[in-house]
Chain A
Amino acid sequence: MGIRPMLSSLIRNKTGPLLVALQIAVTLAIVINSLFIVVQRIETMNRDSGIDVDNVVVIDVRGFGEGFNVVDSIANDIDLISAIPGVIAATVSNHAPLTGSGSGTGLRSVPDETIDAIPAGRYQWSEKGLDALGVRLSRGRNFYPEEVNFVLPETDNGTPPSVLVTQQLADELFPDDDALGKPVYWGNMELSTIVGIIEHMHGSWVSWDNLGNVVIQPGKPAFINNRYIARVDPGRRDEIMPIIEQRLGESNLMRVVKDVRSLEEMAANSYRRDRSMAIVLATVITLLVGLTALVIVGLASFNVTQRTKQIGTRRALGARRIDIVRQFMLENWLITTTGAALGIVLTAVVAYWLETAFALPRLDWRYLPVGIVSLWVLSTLAVIEPARRAASVPPAVATRSV
């Protein structure tokens, strides 16, 4: 049987097949756009942060009461944490990257208030800081221990003369020049000199446009709330975290150990919205594809039962089994292709809506062919079993009366 008689049969009973084609079209539009969002979110979550996230521990403490000496407390705590076997390095810091809690600043390459400052995340930590996060310095030098002083509240601590910046920030500040050794100006127009360049590092707010812009000052912030960062030997984090909590808790009753958390957990928390969106959409895609496949199978099976007599007649008139299979496959293929054609238009409409109404990134067109081919494969697989059942209808059925 050629394509023409089949077409005429489809056209005569056009509503059913048209509905299936429409369903396939909407399915395609949802799946392609959702899949694109899922992949984008996964890419965002898997970005290289430049930090040894898996092996870093973040500790929050807070002193209280009369006679609490914050400087002594921090010095003792850092010594205590560093002495625990398996701890590679530890520092006190104003904030920890990727946690959603941070400090932002603006830097300029010239002392001129009227030009816009380059935004950057600002950290302040000791000479151990880079090691405590596993961040790599690509050029220049780390802070010298003698550059690192306690930064006390209600005291004029001055602007530290040295800073480290990420390569990305360096490039934004000095697009045409090598930033190493150059002065940068803070909001109060005091200057610091770039002594080292960090290859790559993320700041605190994972959805910020300037996530990769980071500047680091030497210092040990000594406020009421203190945050320590420690890096441990790979694979030993979960064993060492309770030890840190216990030793710190015992060592000083004038400060509360608020939290000992892995940076991995805190970073995952920062990416929660992306992860949740990816999982919800992946579930939607799975349900949708499953449902559409089942509907194709169901309809094809029903058709086979309904058309037993017609198939029997064709077989009796000399059609081979393969011809029957071909008939069903071809019919299905026609429906799927019509659906895919409609689906391309619908996909574009949905993509346009997402892009304009929600400022989501523009759909990558390469998802279209991938989606269409997957759909063809899926609908072919769905119709194979019913088609084989159709082919097994014996020719003699035609001669029997119902």
Chain B
Amino acid sequence: MFGYNMKLAVTSMRRNPIMTTLMVAAIAIGIGVSMTTLTVYYLMASNPIPEKSEVLFAITLDSWDPLRPFDDDYPERAPHQLTFGDAERLLQLGKGKRQTAMFESSLIIEPTNDGGLPFEATSRVATADFFEMFNVPFLHGGGWGEAADDAMEPVVVLTRQLNERLFGGENSVGRQLSMDGMLFRVVGITDTWEPTPRYFDPINGGFQNVNEMFIPFSLTRVLELGSIGSDWGWKAESNNSFEQWLNSEAVWIQYFVELVSSGERSEYVAHLDAYVNEQKRLGRFARPLNNSIHNVMEWMEYHAVVADDYRVLVGLSFLFLLVCVLSTIALTLTKFIGRKGEISLRRALGASRTTIFKQQLVEVGAIGFTGGLIGLCLAGLGLQGIKILNDAPDGLVTLDWVMVLVAIIVAIVSSVVAGIYPAWRVCQIPPAAQLKTQ
């Protein structure tokens, strides 16, 4: 029966090629546009580390100006980064299952081969726990141990790309590397790792590439590492030495902690409060107590990682899909009504209403499926366009199987929805009425 319905559908489509093309085009464009924007939104808003997003927390302490809040638009918010001193002291106190303080810096790498020119590479400066906390995949070796943090050992973890550039991609664990005049030992090479969004640092851009390498936080003093990320200050302090800068009230360190149970969480917040109260006695933290921890998704919401523009685009493109569905209904209706004669004839020859109804639905379903497939190709093109426009990392613009499935389902559902009313109308045609006038 399905085969027969299919044959009838094809015959009917061929009889009105323009109408059929228009219907397919309407569905295809609707799916193409809405799936493009939905995919971008879905990837931006997706949970980048579902297995751990509930146990990783960014912490904020209100060390800001006694006279005014950090952010006038959100006066309840503490600064989103810590001072170097607070980060260092909290690291020493530990308390979480794992914790890391971090910032972005850049170093000059001296060439490993003759004739190469020195170049600058960006580094995330973090502690040993970073790799375990954020599930960093390794190609060779691994992160460094806590002992390396304590001993201020010059060790480095390279990304696959930087290892490619420096050592031609071979296993370089144990090799030496001269950076900023210091000899580093390579301890690990990460595998491709492009968390999208870059949830552990939405402050300096949620959709940027991961830094090119990782070095221990304890080297900050030794190498006098400056931050290439943002820093914020409120206090008029004269920072005439690196030591003064590290001791200043400027906030520029991001701090994450891993807390598994809710008991650990409340304990940790109590620990933060105790720490700040102690600092208050030293004359710091003049604002009311305002310490909080934010899990991964909360942290992304906090920093509005998904720009409103993308929500606007999703909304508008689904209105667009509505236009396409309306077009399809109007086209289908007109076409079916135009076939009154044929339907009457089939009804007169004994076809039941259900048979006619089914046959019409097979026809619109086929149109929806074809439109959906073409729409998917259009969405692929659209995503390439978005990628070029935004200079976005690859992770942001790939259609995964979830989106392909969603697209096909949306296409078929919208075309069947578009077909039901016209099909029902057609079934109401009495068998003889049309034949009479012929």
Contacts and interface: CB of A to CB of B under 8 A. Distances in A.
A367 B106 CA distance: 49
Contacts of A65: 108, 181
Interface string B58-73: 0000000001100000
B320 A30 contact: yes
Contact of A256 (B25, B119, B334, B391): B119
Interface stretch (A50-58, A170-178, A186-194, A325-333): A186-194
Contacts of A338: none
B311 A280 contact: no
B389 A16 contact: no
Contacts of A29: 319
Interface string B33-73: 10001000000000000000000000000000001100000
Contact of B240 (A156, A258, A353, A359): A156
A217 interface: no
A291 B240 contact: no
Given A16-B334, A291-B29, A275 B389 contact: yes
A33 B312 CA distance: 11
Given A291-B29, A306-B338, A276 B389 contact: yes
Contact of A26 (B311, B312, B326, B421): B326
A154 interface: yes
B317 interface: yes
Interface string B113-149: 0000111100000000000000000000000000000
- Interface size classification for chain B: 35 or more
B320 A288 contact: yes
A26 B323 contact: yes
B224 to A, nearest CB: 9
A34 B180 CA distance: 51
B413 to A, nearest CB: 18
Nearest to A359: B308
Given A64-B118, A291-B324, A291-B327, A298 B181 contact: no
Given A23-B323, A30-B316, A277-B309, A295 B67 contact: no
A402 interface: yes
A29 to B, nearest CB: 7
A98 interface: no
A37 interface: yes
Nearest to A113: B67
B330 A19 contact: yes
B120 A62 contact: yes
B326 A19 contact: yes
A46 B312 CA distance: 22
A113 B238 CA distance: 17
By DSSP majority rule, is chain B's interface helix, strand, loop, or mixed?
A: helix
B389 A66 contact: no
A377 interface: no
B18 interface: yes
A114 B67 contact: yes
A272 B390 contact: yes
A37 B323 contact: no
B241 A299 contact: no
A22 to B, nearest CB: 6
Contacts of A291: 25-26, 29, 323-324, 327
B389 A294 contact: no
Nearest to B326: A23
Contacts of B167: none
Contacts of B316: 30, 33-34, 281, 284, 350
B248 to A, nearest CB: 13
Contacts of A305: 338
B335 A302 contact: yes
A295 B22 contact: yes
Contact of A354 (B240, B312, B322, B438): B312
Contacts of B106: 62, 225
Given A30-B323, A291-B26, A258 B120 contact: yes
Interface in A161-213: 186-189
19 contacts: A26-B323, A33-B316, A66-B181, A187-B234, A223-B226, A224-B226, A256-B118, A256-B120, A258-B120, A272-B390, A273-B309, A276-B386, A281-B316, A283-B385, A291-B323, A295-B331, A298-B18, A354-B312, A360-B312
Interface of A: 13, 15-16, 19-20, 22-23, 26-27, 29-30, 33-34, 37, 62, 64-66, 113-114, 116, 153-156, 186-189, 223-225, 256, 258, 269, 272-273, 275-277, 279-281, 283-284, 287-288, 291-292, 294-295, 298-299, 301-303, 305-306, 350, 353-354, 357-360, 402
